[in-house]
Chain A
Amino acid sequence: MFELYFGEMSRWNDGLILTAVMSTLSVVIGFFVALPIALARSKSKGILGFLALGYVNIFRGVPLLVLMFLIYYGSGQFSRELRGLGLWWFFRDAYYCGLLALVLNTAAYQAEIIRGSLDTISASVLETNAALNLTPWTSFRRVLLPIAFAKALPPLGNEYILMVKATSLLAIITVFDLMGQARMIFSETFDLRVYYIAAAHYLVLVLLIEWALRRFEARIKWMA
């Protein structure tokens, strides 16, 4: 067991870093993609709300595995056209393709989480903002968003942890995260204990994230 870890230390570290970086980046970028979608879902009854609903339905409905495959190998089929459009540098890179798939997926889930918490803010808060003569933008930025964020933090943390585990799908598009490295070591050693080591890595990573989230939650709890 120890030689499987220490003998392959650099691979395990590479995998751990990649998993941590890809999941964090996708959750953070996904959050900013999700904000306008959540707002449209919550406030707009017109075309914007309809488009936001369409986005959520599509990207929650398409499995992440399928999405990744479509973006990576699908774009490969159109490499000539993408070169013409000057977009090939992006789609050529498996890391960018993987990140794009993760962001599109998590943004759909996060948008629904944020919409939910926006909707729970009571009407009296809006009336107070109006009484104080705040513009809609200031009201959103300084009052509604912080409250919604504080309320949404526990489910957003949940989404973060789910994304840590979803990154294991990256191995199908040649990006070797923790699970990809584990599979590679396994294919050389045929030793099933490799997966115990992988599981331990995920567990430590998730516990660390949970610990950080708990501290963060305690700090902004008063807003929720």
Chain B
Amino acid sequence: MKSLFKISALTVAMTLSGLASATAETLRVGTEGAYAPFNSVSQDGAIEGFDVDIGNAICAVMEVECEWSVHDWGGIIPALNANKFDFMVASMAITPARQKAVIFTDPYYYNAMRFVKLKDVDLDDAKPETLKGLTIGAQQGAVSAKVLDDWFADSDIKLFPKLGEALMDLESGRIDLVLASQFAIGDWMNDGVDCCEFVGESFLMDGTVGAGIAFRKDDAELQARVNKALKTIMDNGTYDEIRKKYFEFDIMSKPGYVSELFNQ
């Protein structure tokens, strides 16, 4: 009888604790974790960066618990659609192709790309005709890879699984240039590499409208909630506070498109 009482007490306790945790909703947030300063994994294993701070600020406004996880860039959209996490804050540029697979919030910043070259490579400008015959690296599946494919057919294009690997190959001189997010490249150069420098103007791929937070297509309700929270942090100054932590300049003004730059 005593043990029966114990068991029922245990059951009640477990039910109550279940209820308690259900009141504080938990959302799972996915990111790449290899795209500093936006998202990266620190040496002690913490997931950090601009994306993470924005995501956490949104979660705070929505009054939910957020649990972060990192996923390979190449499989991040399938991971979202396979319900490995609920939404993605990973600096993903909003493109028509991606919009066929997922839905996005309004843009939360404009991630322009820019060429970085070896100092030994003699170039004043980065245009399809000036980069003819040179080897350019980019991250596989990123918008910069698409731009290279569409506009730089006369250059030799090498695609890397992660941006860091492309930059490693640039530093060692295997490739002449890398096309990637100017922020990500800037962050890498701030870490004390002196092999390389920016060349040409920064630009956006045609059809991209900035980086957005992504959701499964059938999750429009969550998209609306997060979009509202995003607007709140932009209006109440939280967004600017976070931005200042990482960038000294405005990242919400829109750069020019590729076609405007290269079609003359």
What residues of chain A have their CB less than 8 Å away from a CB belonging to chain B?
73, 75-77, 79, 92, 94, 171-172, 174, 176, 183-184, 186-188, 190, 192
Please give the distance in Å from B57's CB to the nearest CB on chain A.
29
A76 touches B77 (CB 8 A): no
Residues of A within 8 A of B100 (CB): 190
Instruction: Output the residue of A75, A92, A174 with the most chain B CB within 10 A.
Output: A174
Proximity string of chain B (70-94) to chain A, C-beta cutoff 8 Å, 1 when within and 0 when not: 0000100110000000000000000
Please give the distance in Å from B160's CB to the nearest CB on chain A.
6
Residues of A within 8 A of B228 (CB): none
B173 nearest in chain A by CB position: A79
B159 touches A174 (CB 8 A): yes
- Given A73-B165, A190-B101, the answer on whether A184 and B159 have CB atoms closer than 8 Å is yes
A190 touches B172 (CB 8 A): no
B161 touches A171 (CB 8 A): yes
Out of B98, B161, B173, name the residue touching A172 (CB < 8 Å): B161
Q: A172-B165, A187-B140, A192-B78 are in contact. List 17 more A-B contacts (CB 8 A).
A: A73-B165, A73-B169, A75-B172, A76-B174, A77-B172, A79-B172, A94-B158, A174-B137, A174-B158, A174-B159, A184-B140, A184-B159, A186-B74, A187-B74, A188-B146, A190-B97, A190-B98
Please give the distance in Å from B210's CB to the nearest CB on chain A.
20
Proximity string of chain B (141-178) to chain A, C-beta cutoff 8 Å, 1 when within and 0 when not: 10000100000000000111100010011011110000
A73 touches B140 (CB 8 A): no
Alpha-carbon gap, A198 to B106, bound state (A): 36
- Given A73-B168, A76-B169, A183-B140, the answer on whether A190 and B160 have CB atoms closer than 8 Å is no
Alpha-carbon gap, A29 to B101, bound state (A): 45
Alpha-carbon gap, A176 to B165, bound state (A): 15
Residues of A within 8 A of B171 (CB): 76
Alpha-carbon gap, A171 to B172, bound state (A): 19
Please give the distance in Å from B179's CB to the nearest CB on chain A.
15
4 A-B pairs closest in CB distance: A76-B172, A187-B141, A79-B172, A190-B101
B139 nearest in chain A by CB position: A187
B78 touches A190 (CB 8 A): yes
Residues of A within 8 A of B169 (CB): 73, 76, 174
Residues of B within 8 A of A172 (CB): 161, 165
A184 nearest in chain B by CB position: B140
Query: Can you list 16 A-B contacts (CB < 8 A)?
Result: A73-B169, A75-B172, A76-B168, A76-B169, A76-B172, A76-B174, A79-B173, A92-B173, A172-B165, A174-B160, A174-B169, A183-B140, A187-B74, A187-B141, A188-B146, A190-B100
Proximity string of chain B (108-151) to chain A, C-beta cutoff 8 Å, 1 when within and 0 when not: 00000000000000000000000000000100110000100000
Residues of A within 8 A of B77 (CB): 190
Alpha-carbon gap, A184 to B172, bound state (A): 25
Please give the distance in Å from A59's CB to the nearest CB on chain B.
23
A88 nearest in chain B by CB position: B173
Instruction: Output the residue of A92, A183, A190 with the most chain B CB within 10 A.
Output: A190
Please give the distance in Å from A70's CB to the nearest CB on chain B.
13
Alpha-carbon gap, A176 to B140, bound state (A): 11
* Chain B stretch 168-224: residues in CB contact (< 8 A) with chain A: 168-169, 171-174
Residues of B within 8 A of A76 (CB): 168-169, 171-172, 174
Alpha-carbon gap, A172 to B168, bound state (A): 13
Alpha-carbon gap, A188 to B203, bound state (A): 21
